[in-house]
Structure 1
Amino acid sequence: MSQIAASAVIHPMAVVEDGAVIGENVKIGPFCRVGARVTLKDGVELISNAVVTGLTEIGAGSTIHPMAVIGGVSQSLHEAGEDSTLVVGANCTMREGVTMNCGTVGGGGITRVGDNCLFLANSHVAHDCILGNDIILSNNVMLAGHVHVGDKAILSGGCAVHQFTRIGRQAFIGGLSAVAYDVIPYGMLNGNPGILGGLNVVGMTRAGIERSVIHQVRRAFKQIFESEGSARTNAAAIRDEYLDCAPVIEILDFIAAESDRALSSPNRGKN
């Protein structure tokens, strides 16, 4: 049996399947469809012609625009119809044509999106992706399966991200870029193949990071990527030098972590 709050407003031409949980002050516009295992938290709005299906939870205050399909089964070749989940955080906006898929059992069973994220028209979040908070996916951004994206990252229009890739916190990905390898926190990547061109200094400044700290991060970047030896070896060698600089340590931890993908660098892909 559905649980529909008395304050919810559901257009008579919308379909809410039996079993759905609809919170306070939810608005469901005409021609929307809400599946039987969907939970819409307080204040969610489906404007019109939106589909929310699967074992899906949409966080409070989120908005879903027309033609979005949220919670569809994965497009994985290994999809076998097992139970899996999509959880979207609070105050997210999914514009026209956005698609988000549930996870797969083999990939952990859940696709998760944090709070305050913005997904512009026709962007796609595939199965088993894990996204942090305050992320922007611009128009036509494509995330393949198992991608991890850190808080406050910005992915510009039309970029494509290879499966299992990690994108660090507050990284910036340029438009039409091909992201085949991990991108460090605060990194700026452009091109096809994607080249790590430097640091997202503008984003760091807007986030209130002090200029002196930014200078330390830039110095560490050069030590990691411009010194002889591999980036991972160089990163490990400078750790003690930056113990009092949290952004550098964050980058070093990111580089040291296990990953299915190699690391984007200023030289990868160049002749």
Structure 2
Amino acid sequence: MTKIHSSAIIEAGAQLDQTVEIGPYAVIGAHVKIGAGTKIGSHSVLEGHTTLGENNQIGHYAALGGAPQDMKYKGEPTRLEIGNGNTIREFTTIHTGTVQDSGVTRIGDNNWIMAYVHIAHDCSVGNHTIFSSNAQIAGHVQVGDWAILGGMAGVHQFVRIGAHSMLGGAAVLIQDLPPFIVAAGDKAKPYGMNVEGLRRRGFTDAAIATLRTAYRMLYKAGLSLEDAKTQLAELAAQTDEGQAYLHQLLAFIASTQRGIVR
């Protein structure tokens, strides 16, 4: 049976699975849909065309599905879609999309989003990411699977953060961060491969060694980006261990619009 505190406000039209729990003084809007096993903390506000999957844990005072902070927004019925198994802690804000993009802000599965995080309109967050407290990402940002953002990190609009990468605390990221790489600093710069993170996720020593070679080609050999891409492609053709990761790295670099951190 749905557990809804008597002080919570559930607007007509909201769709709640019978196992959902809603804390005191929470507000659930008319166009919100919440899946099985999800718990909503006290004083949280879920509004707009927002969908949450199963087994999400929403902390107190979270604000999900609010209108985008974009002056072009004119009230269109844009959406926020959140997957399964996410933890979204206190005072986090996540907004819906805009019609200037896909109209959807998406959060995948099993993400750990700490207190005071802001995820702006039209962002796309993959699976198993970690957003440390006060990390802030602007509109249209893409975050790949297993990426980690340190506390108080700030990310410029339209930037992409590759899978298995790590952005240090209080870093400012204004260009794309390729997969597997650690970046840090006031203006974020590369500081090597995310070796410890890759080991924890089962990457073999040989694959990590290949990625370290790729890092040296990209950042330590004094090559232009075009020459580094050529050498990376040659390395991928010569190795089996880690080849798929090299192709992933190359594809990310080839598709960048803002350039990569250098």
- TM-score under structure 1 normalisation? 0.93
Larger deviation, residues 235-244 vs 149-158: 235-244
Q: 1:87, CA displacement in angstroms?
A: 0.3
- Structure 1 counterpart of 2:198: 204
Give yes or no for contact 1:236–1:252 (8 Å, CA) kept in 2: no
**Match of 1:98, as an amino acid?**
T
Report the Cα offset of residue 228 of structure 1: 4.0
Sequence identity percentage: 36
Letter aligned with residue 96 of structure 1: E
- Unaligned 5+ runs, structure 1: 1-6, 266-271
2-side partners of 1:8 and 1:254: how far apart? Answer: 44
Partner of 1:187: 181
- 8 Å contact kept, 1:186–1:199: yes
Question: Does structure 1 residue 249 correspond to structure 2 residue 241?
Answer: no
Q: Indicate if the aligned counterparts of 1:171 and 1:188 stay in contact, CA closer than 8 A.
A: yes
Matched with 1:31 is 25
Provide the C-alpha distance between the structure 2 equivalents of 1:213 and 1:49, rounded to a whole number of angstroms.
47
Matched residue pairs, number? 258
CA distance in 2, matches of 1:117, 1:224: 30
- Name which of structure 1's ranges 33-42 and 217-226 shifts more when overlaid on structure 2: 217-226
Q: Counterparts in 2 of 1:115-194, with a 5 A limit?
A: 115-194=109-188
Which of 56, 73, 80 is equivalent to 2:74? 80
Matching of residue 59 in structure 1 with residue 53 in structure 2: yes
**What do residues 24-44 of structure 1 show as CA deviations (whole Å, max 9, x unaligned)?**
310001100000000001111
Match for residue 264 of structure 1?
261
Match of 1:238 among 223, 232, 254: 232
**Residue 68 of structure 2 aligns to which amino acid in structure 1?**
S
Letter in 2 for 1:134: H
Q: Is the 8 A contact 2:217 2:231 kept in 1?
A: no
SS at match of 2:190: strand
1:19 CA drift (Å): 0.4
Q: Offset of 1:47 from its aligned partner?
A: 1.9
Q: How far does the alpha carbon of each residue in 1:176-216 deviate from its partner, in whole angstroms, 9 at most, with x for none?
A: 00011100101100001111111100001111111111111
- Deviates further, 52-61 or 228-237: 228-237
Q: How large is the Cα RMSD of the aligned pairs?
A: 1.1
SS in 2 for 1:203: helix
Superposition TM-score, scaled by structure 2 size: 0.96
CA offset digits 1:146-171 (Å, max 9, x no partner): 00000000101000000000000010
Q: Could you tell me which residue of structure 2 aligns to residue 3 of structure 1?
A: none
Matched, 1:91 2:85: yes
Q: Structure 2: which amino acid aligns with 1:214?
A: I
Q: Which residue of 2 aligns with 1:43?
A: 37
